[in-house]
Structure 1
Amino acid sequence: MGIRAIGSYLPEKVLANADLEEILLTRDDWIRENIGVETRRVAADDEWTSDLGARALEDACARAGITPADVDLVICGTYTPDNMAPPTAMLIIEKAGATGATGFDVNSGACPGSVFALDVGAKYVATGAFRRVAVVMADVSTKTLDWKDVGPAVIFGDGAACYLLEPCAPGAGIQGTLLRSDPSRYGAVWVAREERRFRDGRPRRSAFGDNFAQLSGAAVRSFAVGEVPGFIGELLDREGLTTSDVDLFALHQANLHIVHGIMDGLGVPRDRTVTNVQRYGNTSGASVPLVLREALDTGRLAPGDLVVLAAFGSGLSLGTMLVRWCGEEDFGEIGASGRERVGAA
């Protein structure tokens, strides 16, 4: 199974560090020096996860030359569902016009979903149960923020991306995956359910009510820089490869300095990755596919390249995946029903 296309969508509103100086006790130079973020995208008041996800799905289909109605299964990886039930994937199906598709959500802890949810979708393709699967990674993280809490507010942005998966030629596509969780560090990054109040006693709420993102930046940085390089190495060792065999490292955009720290820990030049956290902030589960999309658009990723995907975050969980990037010739011709046509390659 391979990634046929990657769609993306970013909200129109841009929030710069200078804008945050007006509402938070922070400074542009401090954010740049410590986080590496310069701007981030913020969903409109009436724009929710399903809206972002539907646009990303539509974009992926357009890039693949199909319509959303040709998709068999929609998996939405999110921790910010429009509603607790039904799954947000159902709204994405309706808004994108993916008529006839089955849909469900996967909450794998926000940021790690870049790999965890993708692995779920890949397994459905591998079994043959569904032939064309859209794994939509979408979150409106800024709606979980307490705009008086500097830590999360300077980091997160909103965005969506969509992996479009199909069967592919032997030797191409997803080669292997490694997933792991450490629940002893559950509280390092999480959305806490708690009451908060202003000094005058009025309730302080996020767009999700008494639910607020909070994190320990030091704990996440220690975890990521200390454990992700070895975790990637474990997957490469299992597959009989080394870092020198890898053309591109697509890493979760938690923080620019964390990305650089992981690359340094791998002993790999920083120019073998792509970063967008400077412009988009931490876009949660969408960050890795957004990196892949940028790499494709700028010519940094081509058919035949070997790519390592690595995502990490709340749980604390981490996942890494090895992908031999597919070209168009690696995919058979699939009809609107999702079944390969007779005589297809």
Structure 2
Amino acid sequence: MPNGLTPIKIISSGIALPENKIESWQLDIKLNKPKGYVAKRSGIEHRFHAKDNDSQAELAAKAIHHALETQHIVPHSIDMLISASAISVQALPCTAAHILEQSSLKQGIACFDVNASCVSFITALQVAAGFLATSQYQRIAIVSADLASRGIDWQDQESSLIFGDGAACMIVEKGDGTSGIITYHHETHTKGIELCEIRAGGTRKNPRAGMTDDDFLFHMQGKKLFRMASSLVEDFMQQVLTDSKLQLNQIGTVVPHQASHLSLEHMRQRLGVKSEQLIDIYRFRGNQVAASIPSALHEAIISGRFYGQPNVMLIGTAAGLAFCSMVLIP
């Protein structure tokens, strides 16, 4: 085992998308904008939005089943399920329980949620590695599923153009020790805590404490958020590289949160990530919140840009304001 490596192996991946495909020109009409406006402003050609009665748990289960079928994995071999979603199905019980109910996985297995907003999947991968290290659990399914469209504020032009729905699953084992996590780094800067939020759904905004319909919608102060993230991300990236004892040119593939067209361009222009390193699925998915990073990772896997690479970086920003990254050997 390489020195300092936390062993974990991704053995299969899968995704699921709602049937409802939304072309950018359809949003031009919805928002009463000239043809081509949304595509130009958002950088998205199409994305997927769930219907009002579609189930988040069912979408997550479909992603799990895709991952199982891809590598012919027996459902009963999974002994832990982690839901790594930004928005829960309901306050209680946990979203993982709802997903287990809809899936073909074995009843009685351990299941729980890891919620770190848009970087939930990276955090869950680190948590899974810890459980696998105990050898009490042998095979873990991590699934992220978010229906971002449910929280879109169509009066807010800045944020309403960027979101899509989806789910992605990774199935992991401890492996033989040749693959694993080199470094995991997570920072939260609460000066940005109100720059990206959904206020309702917890104890802060509810019928007794007081709430409005607007509190259930996604709110983002985009310009302030981008400025703050931009001022911090270069130092964050340097810390990740320092911790991993690697240079950026030693990273074969960079899998970022598909936050926005501007954020991906910032990675290219300011952080120096080359286009051939970067996984960019934003034009065809939009920002899928927590499902964004594992969906992009699935794309890296199926396009031959994960296995065989010397090192892979997962990186993203999230509400909080949080930054999270992992460097691993596939």
Q: 1:302 aligns with which of 300, 307, 310?
A: 307
Counterpart of 1:107? 115
- Which shows bigger deviation, 308-317 or 268-277? 268-277
Q: 2:40 aligns with which of 30, 33, 36?
A: 33
SS in structure 2 of the partner of residue 62 of structure 1: helix
One-letter code aligned to 1:2: K
Counterpart of 2:293? 288
Q: 1:58 aligns with which of 56, 65, 68?
A: 65
Counterpart of 2:227? 222
Q: Is the 8 A contact 2:27 2:38 kept in 1?
A: no
Rounded to whole Å, the distance in 1 between the matches of 2:247 and 2:217 is 40
CA 1:224–1:5 in structure 2 vs 1: closer, same or farther (change >3 Å)? farther
CA 1:65–1:91 in structure 2 vs 1: closer, same or farther (change >3 Å)? same
Rounded to whole Å, the distance in 2 between the matches of 1:230 and 1:212 is 32
TM-superposed CA distance for 1:169, in Å, is 2.2
Offset from partner CA, 1:184-240 (integer Å, 9 cap, x none): 210111113379xxxxxxx9958xxx5110102213322443333432221221221
TM-superposed CA distance for 1:27, in Å, is 4.9
* TM-score (norm. length: structure 1): 0.85
Q: Is the 8 A contact 1:3 1:166 kept in 2?
A: yes
> Are 1:314 and 2:319 counterparts?
yes
Offset from partner CA, 1:142-200 (integer Å, 9 cap, x none): 111233332222111100111211011223122210011111210111113379xxxxx
> Are 1:178 and 2:185 counterparts?
yes
Rounded to whole Å, the distance in 2 between the matches of 1:30 and 1:286 is 26
TM-superposed CA distance for 1:259, in Å, is 1.0
Offset from partner CA, 1:12-69 (integer Å, 9 cap, x none): 1111221112222545544333431221101122212211111111111122321322
TM-superposed CA distance for 1:271, in Å, is 2.2
TM-superposed CA distance for 1:244, in Å, is 1.1
Rounded to whole Å, the distance in 2 between the matches of 1:149 and 1:280 is 20
Report sequence identity in percent: 27
Q: 1:212 aligns with which of 214, 217, 235?
A: 217
Kindly tell me the number of residue pairs found equivalent between the two proteins: 314
Map 1:1-345 onto structure 2 (within 5 A): 1-27=8-34, 29-99=36-106, 100-109=108-117, 111-193=118-200, 205=213, 210-325=215-330
CA 1:228–1:2 in structure 2 vs 1: closer, same or farther (change >3 Å)? farther
CA 1:47–1:169 in structure 2 vs 1: closer, same or farther (change >3 Å)? same
Rounded to whole Å, the distance in 2 between the matches of 1:28 and 1:89 is 41
- RMSD between aligned residues: 2.1
SS in structure 2 of the partner of residue 22 of structure 1: helix
SS in structure 1 of the partner of residue 327 of structure 2: strand
One-letter code aligned to 1:310: I
- Which shows bigger deviation, 119-128 or 28-37? 28-37
Rounded to whole Å, the distance in 2 between the matches of 1:318 and 1:164 is 24
TM-superposed CA distance for 1:283, in Å, is 0.4
Rounded to whole Å, the distance in 1 between the matches of 2:213 and 2:31 is 16
Rounded to whole Å, the distance in 2 between the matches of 1:144 and 1:222 is 24
One-letter code aligned to 1:178: H
SS in structure 1 of the partner of residue 276 of structure 2: helix
* TM-score (norm. length: structure 2): 0.88
CA 1:301–1:260 in structure 2 vs 1: closer, same or farther (change >3 Å)? same
Q: Is the 8 A contact 1:233 1:242 kept in 2?
A: no
TM-superposed CA distance for 1:117, in Å, is 2.3
Rounded to whole Å, the distance in 2 between the matches of 1:78 and 1:244 is 31
Mark the runs of 5 or more structure 1 residues left unpaired by the alignment. 196-202, 326-345
Mark the runs of 5 or more structure 2 residues left unpaired by the alignment. 1-7
One-letter code aligned to 1:245: Q
One-letter code aligned to 2:114: V
Q: Is the 8 A contact 2:28 2:37 kept in 1?
A: no
Rounded to whole Å, the distance in 1 between the matches of 2:95 and 2:88 is 6
SS in structure 1 of the partner of residue 237 of structure 2: helix
Q: Is the 8 A contact 1:58 1:67 kept in 2?
A: no
TM-superposed CA distance for 1:242, in Å, is 0.5
One-letter code aligned to 1:180: E
